[in-house]
């Protein structure tokens, strides 16, 4: 059977398809989750990767405010609900085989719970690792001392 | 117990740490894999997301040629080995909780098996989906008719 994603490989820029047909073919993992990469829309900086379930994806498309699924807390995670550091959705794209999302967002302040703009701050090289950025904000200020809340 | 990643949250830009201590704390999933996002180093375009195991990560750091783990083929996947569309590693970063990699790469031609520069070409909006780019190269040319080889 040819999947919708195999069909779309041959599509041209501007071709349209029903949202329902794409969403119903999404390839969630065994836990019902799909990885979502958040990229700052104007600078191109990759801020973080988190996970969405079907409900958080629908809510994000409907409201334009990014909502993930928190695996550690087992509930919807409206980004910024405790830190105030929201993500406004600018656009969303699905990849060729329907199992990864890329979100172009407008991030308020730091995306990372450590107080840094991006979560990707541990550089790995052939023979050492080093830290590439310092926190913009003390995480104790972000969360009022409730570590781990985002 | 405090993990190395909790410790590094408070580190400052430029702080160094042993590569071994970071690599040995990497949080692979139950299949022994970690997601790796590939971003074109100069334009910032997010090209694809794939998976690495410990061996493909070590090979990538050692050789500077990006090597993933192919889940569908169950073996190391040296990006471009059949298509010629290699990825040269420019730098690699790990995220705050040690479970996602971000690779800055120099991608030769299309990263996507469909012949497009990026795998993220299906835009999802509130009420429809549409295709945002056309193939740069016919995939039959890339793979000589052997679909699915990358």
pLDDT at B146: 46
Residues near B57 by beta carbon (within 8 Å), at least 6 away in sequence: B23, B26, B34, B36, B101
pLDDT at A144: 64
Instruction: Decide if B124 and A44 are in contact by the 8 Å CB cutoff.
Output: no
Q: Determine contact, residues A134/A116, Cβ cutoff 8 Å.
A: yes
Residue B109 has pLDDT above 60, yes or no: yes
pLDDT at A108: 94
B117 token code pair: 């520069």
Tens of pLDDT along chain A (150 residues) come to: 679 999 999 999 999 999 999 999 999 999 999 999 999 999 999 999 999 999 999 999 999 999 999 999 999 999 999 889 999 999 999 999 999 999 999 999 999 999 999 999 999 999 999 999 999 998 888 776 444 445
Distance, CA of B51 to CA of A41 (rounded, Å)? 24
For B16-58, what is each residue's pLDDT tens digit? 999 999 999 999 999 999 999 999 999 999 999 999 999 999 9
Distance, CA of B107 to CA of B85 (rounded, Å)? 7
Distance, CA of A100 to CA of A8 (rounded, Å)? 16
Which one of B3, B72, B95, B116 would you mutate to disrupt binding with A, by most A Cβ within 10 Å of its Cβ? B95
pLDDT at A139: 85
Which one of B24, B31, B96 would you mutate to disrupt binding with A, by most A Cβ within 10 Å of its Cβ? B96
Q: How confident is the model at residue B144 (pLDDT cuts 50, 70, 90)?
A: low
Chain B environment of A19 (Cβ under 8 Å): 124-129
Average of per-residue pLDDT values in chain B: 93
Q: Is A30 touching B (CB cutoff 8 A)?
A: no
Distance, CA of A28 to CA of A111 (rounded, Å)? 24
Distance, CA of B124 to CA of A114 (rounded, Å)? 30
The helix or strand, by DSSP H or E, that contains position B71, with its residue range, turns out to be none
Distance, CA of A90 to CA of B125 (rounded, Å)? 10
């Amino acid at each position: 059977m040819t999947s919708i994603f195999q069909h779309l490989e041959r599509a041209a820029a501007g071709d349209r398809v029903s949202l329902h047909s794409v969403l119903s073919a999404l390839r969630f993992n065994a836990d019902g989750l799909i990885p979502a990469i958040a990229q700052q829309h104007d600078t191109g900086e990759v801020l973080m990767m988190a996970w969405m379930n079907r409900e958080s994806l629908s809510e994000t498309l409907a409201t334009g405010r990014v909502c993930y699924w928190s695996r550690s807390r087992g509930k919807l995670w409206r980004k910024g609900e405790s830190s105030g550091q929201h993500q406004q959705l600018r656009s969303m794209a699905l990849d060729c085989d329907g199992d990864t999302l890329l979100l172009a967002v407008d991030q308020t302040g730091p995306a990372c719970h450590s107080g840094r703009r991006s979560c990707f701050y541990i550089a790995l090289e052939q023979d050492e690792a080093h830290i590439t950025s310092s926190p913009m904000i003390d995480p104790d200020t972000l969360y009022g001392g409730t570590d781990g809340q985002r």
